[in-house]
Amino acid sequence: MKKLVVLMLLGLFSLPLMAQDQKAQIFAGYQYEYLGGSTAPSTISGSLAQTGESFNGFNASIAYKFGKHLGIAADFGAGYATFNGLNARFYSYTAGPVVTLRSRGRVTPFVHALIGGAHASAGSSLGLSAAVSQNGFAALIGGGMDYRLKRSIRFRLFQADWLYYDFPGINNGPSFSQSNNVRISTGIVLGF
């Protein structure tokens, strides 16, 4: 009986908190990345051809709002692809400011600028033991729209990010950077 009374009192005291705007959000969902979209000479035709690879994976983030519009977010993305006999993986872990634009309806747009790191690795999908792994810098600039399903549950209609990465050279070799990359995500957002 005492436990029931305590639970009821806690529920009553939490009502004012429930009426306030949600301060924290957790997002998890699917992501598609297109990496390495540079132009390179084609060995077949001799002309410039678009190179790059598509990666599928997941995206997760946590965000905390300091006020009505400004907050901070930490984002983790993982993409996986198989091409030319390689199993490739690309991970990004970034953080930075988020600006949420409030609307009276169910749709909430946002923009963010995130910086941090990236990790790329590739190994043979043919059973060979050769593997390469590298850490570097990553930056994401983009935004998206969330659609409110219930008070604390939203569906991320889309999140589109421009992705820049820079990997230092291996064994004093040249560094490798790429700025023609895109990441698109969708999934569920839980608010607290």
| pTM for this entry | 0.79
Give the pLDDT band (50/70/90) at residue 34: very high
Closest CA to 161 of 185, 136, 187, 145: 185
**9 lies in a domain?**
no
Cβ-proximal residues to 19 (8 Å cutoff; 6+ apart), any chain? none
- Classify residue 147: in a domain, yes or no: yes
Q: How many CB atoms lie within 10 A of CB 92?
A: 27
117, 49, 55, 146 alpha-carbon torsion, rounded to 10°: 80
* Residue 92 maps to a domain: yes
With respect to residue 1, please indicate whether it lies within any of the assigned structural domains.
no
Total of domains in the chain: 1
Does some domain include residue 124? Answer: yes
pLDDT (tens digit per residue) in 154-173: 999 999 999 999 888 665 55
Residue 74 lies in a domain: yes
Give residue-wise pLDDT tens across range 82-119: 988 889 999 999 999 999 987 678 999 999 999 999 99
Cα gap 64→8, rounded to integer Å: 28
Look up the domain containing 122 and give its range. 22-191
In a domain, 5, yes or no: no
| 120 located within any domain | yes
CATH of the domain at 136: 2.40.160.20
